[in-house]
């Protein structure tokens, strides 16, 4: 009974591609068209009539909607018109678990973050106030019992609306994810062909936040007992600290992530703009919907989803002329891998205060075990020789995210090479930042910490 569910992550992408083609070409007029697609999927993958609720639920999730169980399509097209994706991002699907006893040893019964989120039953039980939406369970369950919502279908109408500028901001881990010879410039051209106004490197906003965190480090770390936790990139690291280590949370940078900064700034600069973030991470989908961050980013796609979108729309990246623009420095681009934030902030601190007595000494950890270990050590006041703590929830950093298309070692090399290709050595040399800041009447970088408007944009609510 379980065979039809096997390798479902691949089958799920077939469902997604068929939905893309149908909605892009405006073939979905009413729910009967969705039911026709259900039958096509059933026949193609030898599902049974009893599996139809399972197929419908995966179609719903692929449209960014909540699963409903044993219910035929009814108001899904009306829900899509709201253009709003809601929590929970990671959700469970009825069906495969009741046939999965023989695979019990492979089933996730405990989240990688050591919270008892999953309990064996007819389906996984997700305790949402503990779930960090990291998405590793989605990748690990290859029978389709757990899925994350895909946010592309609501974007299609925006891309076809010439009165709405839609900007894509892309994580620096994207380099190499769509082919060895596919450049960031070719990705920019491809997205413009789809209807995006432009593609902007999130590393540009990482440069801006690097400068902010360098100022914060200089202010907060005055002696050898002081330490500083960066929060910039990783929502998993941030949520681990906030939910489980309240005393350490006080030592954490108040900065928003580069993703949130990109959306807030672009919407300030361009009227009526919509912003779509593209990255390797499922947790970013959840971050974008946090109450105090909501509105900065309208939709989040990941690399694997974007790859399927290009295939569904017959966009051959290898044959596209590149539109190359240098947006970010070496340091900003290195945010994609473990140690990148530490490198960037250290170069900025040294630039700001080269004769500093207490030097920045970083400790870089990645993966759940290491992150939890260092947070336990800090909580227990164990001594170690570091005052700047960088945590990444995924092994390798963002290049090890659950929705990448490339292995960690290859992706890390590509990120390092891409960083070295930048003509901008440090964030202080990035004239793009100065152009942005001029819109806030800031004429030099030292004014970042004094300008109320830009400070509010770059700072999360306490």
- Kindly state the greatest CA–CA separation across the chain: 72
The whole-model pTM stands at 0.93
Q: What is the pLDDT of residues 163-189, one digit of tens each?
A: 999 999 999 999 999 999 999 999 999
The pLDDT of residue 227 is 92
Task: Determine which of 134-143, 301-310, 415-424, 437-446 has the lowest per-residue pLDDT on average.
Answer: 134-143
Contact 124, 98 (CB under 8 A): no
pLDDT band at 14 (very low <50, low <70, confident <90, very high): confident
* Three-state secondary structure string covering the chain: CCHHHCCHHHHHHHHHHHHHHHHHCCCCCCHHHHHHHHHHHHHHCCCCHHHHHHHHHHHHHHCCCCCCCCCCCCCHHHHHCCCCCCCCCEEECCCHHHHCHHHHHHCCCCCCCCCCCCCCCCCCCCCCCCCCCCCHHHHHCCCCCEEECCCCHHHHHHHCCCCCCEEEEECHHHCCCCCCCCCHHHHHHHHHHHCCCEEEECHHHHHHHHHHHHHHHHHHCCCCCCCEECCCCCHHHHHHHHHHCHHHHCCECCECCHHHHHHHHHHHHCCCCEEEEEECCCHHHHHCCCCCCCCCCCEEEEHHHHHHHHHHCCCCHHHCCCCCCCCCCHHHHHHHCCCHHHHHHHHHHHHHCCCCCCCCCEEEEECHHHHHHHHHHHHCCCCCCCCEEEEECCCCHHHHCCCCCCCHHHHHHHHHHHHHHCCCCCHHHCHHHHHHHHCCCCCCHHHHHCCHHHHHHHECCC
Distance CA 126, CA 119 (A): 8
The pLDDT of residue 151 is 97
For tokens 């681990």, name the residue: 240
Distance CA 265, CA 277 (A): 13
Q: Please give the structure tokens belonging to residue 88.
A: 């929970």
For tokens 């759940």, name the residue: 368
Distance CA 297, CA 281 (A): 14
What torsion do the CA atoms of 90, 239, 335, 256 make, to the nearest 10 degrees? 110
What torsion do the CA atoms of 179, 182, 188, 189 make, to the nearest 10 degrees? -110
The pLDDT of residue 66 is 94
The pLDDT of residue 140 is 74
- Hey, which residues does 229 pair with through a beta bridge? 252, 389
Q: What is the pLDDT of residues 44-89, one digit of tens each?
A: 888 889 889 989 999 999 999 999 988 999 999 999 988 889 888 8
Q: What is the pLDDT of residues 186-228, one digit of tens each?
A: 999 999 999 999 999 999 999 999 999 999 999 999 998 899 9
The pLDDT of residue 123 is 60
Contact 292, 461 (CB under 8 A): yes
Residue 292 predicted with pLDDT over 70 = yes
Cis amide bond preceding 88, omega within 30: yes
The Cβ of residue 21 has, within 10 Å, a number of other Cβ atoms equal to 14
The pLDDT of residue 396 is 96
Residue 114 predicted with pLDDT over 70 = no
Residue 92 predicted with pLDDT over 90 = no
Closest listed residue to residue 111, CA positions, set 288, 368, 287: 368
Contact 424, 178 (CB under 8 A): no
Instruction: State mean pLDDT over 455-462.
Output: 87
Contact 367, 140 (CB under 8 A): no
Contact 54, 109 (CB under 8 A): no
The pLDDT of residue 100 is 64
Residue with more model confidence, 92 or 72 = 72
Contact 125, 131 (CB under 8 A): no
Q: Phi/psi at 324 (nearest 5 deg)?
A: -85, 130
């Amino acid at each position: 009974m379980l065979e039809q569910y096997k390798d479902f992550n691949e089958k799920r992408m077939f469902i997604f591609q068929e939905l893309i083609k149908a909605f892009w070409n405006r073939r979905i007029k009413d729910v009967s068209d969705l039911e026709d697609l259900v039958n096509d999927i059933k026949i193609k993958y030898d599902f049974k009539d009893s599996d139809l609720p399972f197929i419908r639920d995966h179609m719903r999730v692929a449209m960014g909607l909540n699963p409903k169980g044993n219910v035929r399509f009814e108001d899904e097209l009306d829900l899509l018109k709201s253009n709003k994706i809601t929590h929970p991002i990671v959700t469970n699907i009825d069906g495969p678990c009741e046939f999965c006893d023989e695979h019990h040893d492979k089933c996730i019964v405990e989240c990688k973050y050591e919270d008892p989120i999953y309990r064996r039953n007819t389906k996984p039980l997700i305790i949402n106030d503990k779930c960090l939406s990291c998405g590793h369970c989605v990748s690990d369950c290859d029978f389709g019992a757990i899925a994350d919502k895909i946010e592309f279908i609501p974007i299609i109408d925006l891309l076809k609306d010439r009165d709405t500028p839609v900007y894509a901001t892309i994580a620096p881990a994207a380099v190499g994810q769509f082919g060895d010879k596919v450049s960031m410039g070719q990705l920019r051209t491809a997205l413009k062909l789809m209807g995006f106004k432009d593609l902007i490197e999130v590393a540009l906003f990482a440069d801006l936040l690097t400068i902010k965190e360098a100022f914060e480090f200089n202010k907060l770390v005055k002696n050898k007992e002081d330490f500083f936790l960066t929060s910039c990139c990783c929502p998993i690291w941030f949520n681990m600290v906030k939910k489980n280590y309240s005393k350490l949370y006080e030592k954490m940078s108040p900065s928003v992530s580069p993703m949130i900064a990109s959306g807030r700034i672009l919407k300030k600069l361009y009227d009526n703009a919509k912003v779509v973030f593209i990255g390797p991470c499922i947790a970013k989908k959840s971050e974008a919907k946090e109450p105090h961050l909501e509105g900065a980013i309208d939709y989040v796609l990941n690399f694997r989803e974007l790859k399927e979108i290009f295939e569904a729309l017959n966009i051959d990246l290898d044959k596209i002329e590149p539109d190359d623009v240098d947006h970010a420095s070496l340091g900003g681009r290195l945010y994609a891998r473990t140690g990148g934030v530490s490198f960037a902030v250290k170069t900025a601190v040294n630039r700001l205060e080269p004769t500093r007595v207490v030097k920045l000494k970083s400790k870089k950890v990645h993966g759940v075990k290491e992150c939890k270990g260092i947070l336990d050590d800090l909580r227990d006041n164990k001594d170690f020789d570091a005052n700047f703590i960088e945590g990444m929830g995924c092994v390798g950093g963002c290049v090890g995210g659950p929705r990448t298309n490339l292995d960690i070692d290859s992706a890390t090399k590509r990120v390092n090479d891409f960083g070295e290709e930048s003509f901008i050595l440090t964030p202080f040399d990035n004239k793009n930042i100065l152009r942005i800041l001029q819109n806030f009447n800031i004429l030099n970088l030292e004014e970042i910490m004094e300008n109320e408007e830009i400070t509010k944009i770059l700072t999360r609510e306490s």
